A and B are shown apart, each in its own frame.
Chain A
Amino acid sequence: MSPMPSMASECFPSRTADMGLLLRLSARYAFSNQNRHRSTSVRIALGLALCLFAIVAVLSFMQALQRDQFEDIRTFESFDLQVQPEVNDLEKALEIADRIEALDSVTSAFVYADIPVITQASDGSTVAGRLRAIQAEGRFAEQLNSYRGNIFTEGKLASSYSNSRSIRVGEEVKMTLLRKGRQATVIPAQRTLEIGSLYYTTSYDFDHTTFLCDLPTLLQLNPDAPLKVGLYTDQKVETVKQELVDIGFSQVSTWREINASLYGAMELEQKMMTLMLFLMVIVVLVHIRSSSRRLLLAKQREIAMLRSMGLTKGGVQLLFVLQALLVAGIGVVLGSLLAITAVSLYPNLSNIVYQSMGVHLTLSIRSSELLILSISILLFSMLAAYQGTHRVLKVDIMEMFAHDEVS
């Protein structure tokens, strides 16, 4: 008998199984009550939802903490940028600050100086930190909260509320002036100064180590104190730095450069945390993979029936990919909703966090991260279903009928 040309393609129009039918089958299979797969699907969806929620919530909280810390650093510690004038003269430094403040990209510029000090209270307790002198206006001063007294009173120091147990208003403290980079060189000697006020900020580290005064007071204590111009900007710090360099300031540093090690450590911390969270996702995805395989193996008989009814291999694969997408999709939607709800309800709980951590955080969800996570979960679920079905479909239809034997 001579081989005849395949007429199948001529007899039957090319078609794929109706998507509506596949969706209907996949929805029924995903939450099959008859095959007791509903609980497995519900477990997978809930597991994904909780995993996504946990990752998004932790990332959001961590980013808020970092933002808060960076905000404190930029506001109190190092400002957005610092300019080191060529000459160490207050009048000239004030002129430079005015020139810089006149730039459109700069919100405010001010003269300040930090010198390292060791302060000894009357009870003998000491604080190793710094004395900061600064112009008494602008964003820095606005962020300071006065607890008692006027913060910038000539000839007096402002101590922080966090040190108020050992250093009280009206008390005199012995201050040893140090020089940066040298071995505790006393310049000129210990001085006694009165604490005129108490302040506090949102940065505990800053408060704990910083005494404040006005510029004339500091220059009386140490006329050689290196003056700097600090500035705030709403624009990108690198752009403003370039602008300052272009107009002739050679020693300009951004807050990132000044706090490079801290910034690097926090970046690394965030990366490690993200990595750990992704490992958590992988554990969940592996669980999905094995659940998906178990589910497919249990469905072998039904797959065989569908194949004997004429459903193509591609149709079967699409059916179970759709099923996996449906379950994972429900998990992703549920997880996203949980995360969004938790973040939007967070302001009601922020007092509890403030009491335990001392910070007021503003939580937000980065839509790009949520999107990447959601897409990863959906893709992996699809892949697991595709692979599992591919494996099952390698077997002959009749072998899939578990009960069937050569009779």
Chain B
Amino acid sequence: MMKSAEVLRLEQVFKSFPATLRGGPPIQILEGIDLNLERSKSIAITGNSGSGKSTLLQISAGLMQCDSGKIWFEEQDISRLDDDALSQLRSRSMGFIFQSSLLLDDFTALENVQIPAMIAGKSEKQAKQQALEMLSTVGMQDRLHHTSDQLSGGERQRVAIARALVNSPTVIFADEPTGSLDERNASVVEDLLFSLVEQQQVALMLITHNNSFAQRCDIVYHLHDRKVEVSS
């Protein structure tokens, strides 16, 4: 049974990819993964390149289907949800931060944060108000009307954090959020992410290569040889 404190639980998750586009014996990426994330807690997944960390995050968030196993999110088996239900779940309960701070190029920082709120069903006015508050929280109040190409890497990542948090999600899925930043900016983004996660009582699933970043999480899992093990 899923414990009441748990927000995400993976049970015996398996995932493989075909060796080539033409098929061939599949390459096993994940094998019997069991993992859980409690409310307001943070976990980090570390591992070598190609070990399947991002795949694990994508499966956990329902962005990718697993071959077998169960993914429980807020007491629902997300592998059984249809696309609409999954989309609504993503909209209201999940926030994403990707490595290359993916923002909608045609829209300003304000709009990038406002749009997910509107997708979640908020009115334009409400969404704008929330977006303004979130951007102000991440220190981007002076860059509201700048588009993606007018922002630095660190600024884009701060907008991405604001966007991930605008709908007050239960879990933030962060895939190498500081991977493309220099040390100084990475440190700023790290601090910001952890302070907001703590402040807003959001659970965090973090994928990172950076050990010191990972160590700030409550639990660190190491993905090795297709399996996870708690490393601290």
Contact = CB atoms under 8 A, between A and B. Distances in A.
Our verdict on whether A and B bind, yes or no, reads yes
Interface of A: 1-4, 6-9, 11-13, 15, 17-18, 20-21, 25, 28-29, 32-35, 301-302, 305-315, 396-398, 401, 403-407
A407 B53 contact: yes
Contact of B77 (A3, A33, A407): A3
B118 interface: yes
B63 A396 contact: yes
A149 to B, nearest CB: 77
A308 B74 CA distance: 18
Contact of A396 (B29, B64, B102, B207): B64
A-B pairs with lowest CB-CB distance, top 7: A310-B91, A8-B85, A34-B105, A309-B116, A312-B87, A12-B88, A310-B90
Given A33-B106, A406-B17, A406-B55, A1 B87 contact: no
Nearest to B107: A28
Q: How large is the interface on B (under 10, 10 to 19, 20 to 34, 35 or more residues)?
A: 35 or more
Contact of B72 (A1, A28, A35, A312): A1
A77 B131 CA distance: 78
Contacts, number: 133
A34 B100 contact: no
Contacts of A12: 85, 88-89, 92
A310 B88 contact: yes
B135 to A, nearest CB: 16
Contacts of A404: 54, 98
Interface of B: 1-2, 11, 17, 29, 49-55, 58, 63-65, 70, 72, 74-77, 80-81, 83-92, 94, 96, 98, 100, 102-107, 115-116, 118-121, 124, 147-149, 163, 176, 207
A23 to B, nearest CB: 12
A21 B120 CA distance: 11
A18 to B, nearest CB: 6
Given A311-B119, A407-B50, A1 B88 contact: no
19 contacts: A6-B80, A12-B88, A12-B89, A17-B118, A17-B119, A28-B106, A33-B106, A34-B106, A35-B105, A301-B102, A305-B102, A306-B115, A310-B89, A310-B91, A312-B83, A313-B83, A406-B17, A407-B50, A407-B207
Nearest to B83: A313
B54 A308 contact: no
Given A29-B106, A308-B96, A407 B11 contact: no
Nearest to A316: B87
Contact of B84 (A312, A397, A406): A312
B106 A35 contact: yes
Nearest to B77: A3
Nearest to B121: A15
Max chain A C-beta neighbours (<10 A), residue from B83, B104, B107, B149:
B104
Contact of B11 (A1, A307, A310): A1
Given A397-B63, A404-B98, 10 more contacts: A1-B2, A8-B85, A11-B88, A21-B118, A21-B124, A309-B90, A313-B87, A396-B63, A407-B52, A407-B53
Nearest to A5: B76
Nearest to A20: B124
Contacts of B77: 3-4, 6
B58 A398 contact: yes
A406 B29 contact: yes
Nearest to A307: B87
B104 A4 contact: no
Contact of B64 (A13, A315, A397): A397
B76 A6 contact: yes
Contacts of B11: 1
A405 B179 CA distance: 14
Contacts of A13: 121
Contacts of A307: 87, 90
A406 B52 contact: yes
Max chain B C-beta neighbours (<10 A), residue from A13, A25, A315:
A25
A307 B89 CA distance: 11
Contacts of B72: 1, 4
Contact of A310 (B29, B92, B100, B105): B92
A32 B169 CA distance: 30
Contacts of B149: 34
A404 B63 CA distance: 13
Nearest to B87: A312
Contacts of B106: 28-29, 32-35
